[in-house]
């Protein structure tokens, strides 16, 4: 579990005059600039001057009694695929380095700024967001905060977003999630992350991986933090839902696929979390979901991400493919083999699959499963072997990807005991049930925290 300060705690400190936005921003920038830390690999660009100007403005507004949201004056990092006016969006690539600065900020950036967030910089990521591991040969890979001596992956693709929060370089990181890219680094780094229903948050101004699957969400210290930021990103009032009582809450634990290859650490943490929820009155049912085993057959001719990434990258790959990470370009090029009929068939199959899964889980309040079936593997092992990289990537993406394909919403929150390797517990639901999942997550978090 995390001891990081929450939005709520820092907002109270600011309101009481015990700190200022400038002080919080200076501290975040100092951590990001520390040569002994992970900042150089966590950020592709820091916006120190702009951030300090925003912090001074926030402090001035506060003296006039103006507080725009609970995020007022707090340092926030943004993944390097969001357009920020005047900055180059490189999406973790060498190909786009030196490109034309954005003329307009993405809607999510505008909403953060309007809420008083202080954007400290652009965080590193897997190139073009196409991997769940977080390795980047162009900008380097920030180390997971757990077991720095070994040097383990942070998870991806929102790798820098997670490390920026875990190391106190930001209070919140904004990431994208196409197949788990918010939830995976949250789980592996001991943070809380939320993937909303795709249609909930606008994706304009974000460099796409898969237009069918991309969604935008926060990585932070708590469920409450995620709920506040999710509301801001969605253009709603910045309020968290009330925690829902776990007494009588109905959870389904899928027995199909999601526990294949699970390691002993994750299995033990997950079962301990389930036991605690049951002791709080939750009703947990082990449920076969045969549709989960159909993913391989449905994607035999390729994935939506393959096809849609190829559509965006095909010209750039033809002209400058040698500058890509080959582990990324190879996955994108797989989309070239999909015909239009294959793509249309997959879209139609997905619609049927969603209908079947939604019917199967309709009697439950949420699915409950391990976010990632293994703890974070060492970076060196995956850098040195394409086979190990591919195997780890497939395994780590598997569980979160099911919820993206469902067009659902999901929350990952830490369920490990203090001192143990980080493990994520995922609460997931059908599309449109975002606030219900967050309300259940708030109650679940309270039960898990009581373990400590």
Annotated catalytic sites, by residue? Answer: 79, 157, 181
C-alpha 239/C-alpha 442 separation (Å) is 13
- Residue 84: both structure tokens together: 């920020």
As a 3-state breakdown, the chain gives helix, strand, coil percent values, each rounded to 5, of 45, 15, 40
C-alpha 156/C-alpha 149 separation (Å) is 20
C-alpha 400/C-alpha 450 separation (Å) is 26
Interhelix angle 7-15/223-233, rounded to 10 degrees, is 80
Pairing of strands 215-220, 172-177: antiparallel
C-alpha 386/C-alpha 163 separation (Å) is 24
- Residue 422: both structure tokens together: 């980080």
CB-CB contact of 32 with 121 (8 Å) = yes
Interhelix angle 223-233/434-449, rounded to 10 degrees, is 160
For 293, which DSSP code?
G
- Number of helices (H) and strands (E), helices first, in the chain? 16, 11
For 243, which DSSP code?
P
- Residues with Cβ within 8 Å of residue 384, at least 6 apart in sequence: none
């Amino acid at each position: 579990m995390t001891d990081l300060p929450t939005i709520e705690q820092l907002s109270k400190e600011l309101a009481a005059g015990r700190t200022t936005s400038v002080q919080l921003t200076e501290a975040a920038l100092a951590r990001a600039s520390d040569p002994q830390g992970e900042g150089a690999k966590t950020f592709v660009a820091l916006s120190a001057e702009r951030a300090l100007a925003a912090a001074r403005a926030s402090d001035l507004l506060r003296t006039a009694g103006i507080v725009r949201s609970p995020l007022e004056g707090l340092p926030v990092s943004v993944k390097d695929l969001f357009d920020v006016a005047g900055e180059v969006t490189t999406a973790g690539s060498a190909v786009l380095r030196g490109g034309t600065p954005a003329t307009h900020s993405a809607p999510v950036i505008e909403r953060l700024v309007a809420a008083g967030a202080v954007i400290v910089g652009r965080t590193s990521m897997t190139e073009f967001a196409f991997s769940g591991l977080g390795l980047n040969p162009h900008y380097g890979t920030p180390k997971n905060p757990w077991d720095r001596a070994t040097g383990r992956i942070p998870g991806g693709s929102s790798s820098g977003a997670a490390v920026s929060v875990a190391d106190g370089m930001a209070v919140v990181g904004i990431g994208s999630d196409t197949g788990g890219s918010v939830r995976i680094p949250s789980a592996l780094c001991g943070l809380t992350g939320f993937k909303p229903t795709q249609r909930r948050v606008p994706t304009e101004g974000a460099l796409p991986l898969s237009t069918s699957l991309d969604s935008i969400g926060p990585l932070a210290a708590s469920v409450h933090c995620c709920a506040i930021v999710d509301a801001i990103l969605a253009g709603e009032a910045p309020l968290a839902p009330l925690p829902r009582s776990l007494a009588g809450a109905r959870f389904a634990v899928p027995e199909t696929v999601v526990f294949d290859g699970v390691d002993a650490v994750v299995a033990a943490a997950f079962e301990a979390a389930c036991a605690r929820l049951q002791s709080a009155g939750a009703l947990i049912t082990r449920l076969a979901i045969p549709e989960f085993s159909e993913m391989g057959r449905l994607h035999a001719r390729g994935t939506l991400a393959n096809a849609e990434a190829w559509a965006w990258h095909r010209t750039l790959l033809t002209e400058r493919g040698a500058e890509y990470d080959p582990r990324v370009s190879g996955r994108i090029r797989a989309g070239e083999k999909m015909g239009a009929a294959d793509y249309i068939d997959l879209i139609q199959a997905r619609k049927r699959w969603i209908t079947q899964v939604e019917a199967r889980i309709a009697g439950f309040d949420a699915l409950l499963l391990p976010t990632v079936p293994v703890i974070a593997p060492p970076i060196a092992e995956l850098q040195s072997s394409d086979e190990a990289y591919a195997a780890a990537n497939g395994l780590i993406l598997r569980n979160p990807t099911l919820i993206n394909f469902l067009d659902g919403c999901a929350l990952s929150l830490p369920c490990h005991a203090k001192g143990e390797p980080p493990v994520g517990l995922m609460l997931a639901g059908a599309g449109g049930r975002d606030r219900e999942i967050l309300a259940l997550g708030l109650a679940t978090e309270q039960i898990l925290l009581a373990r400590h």
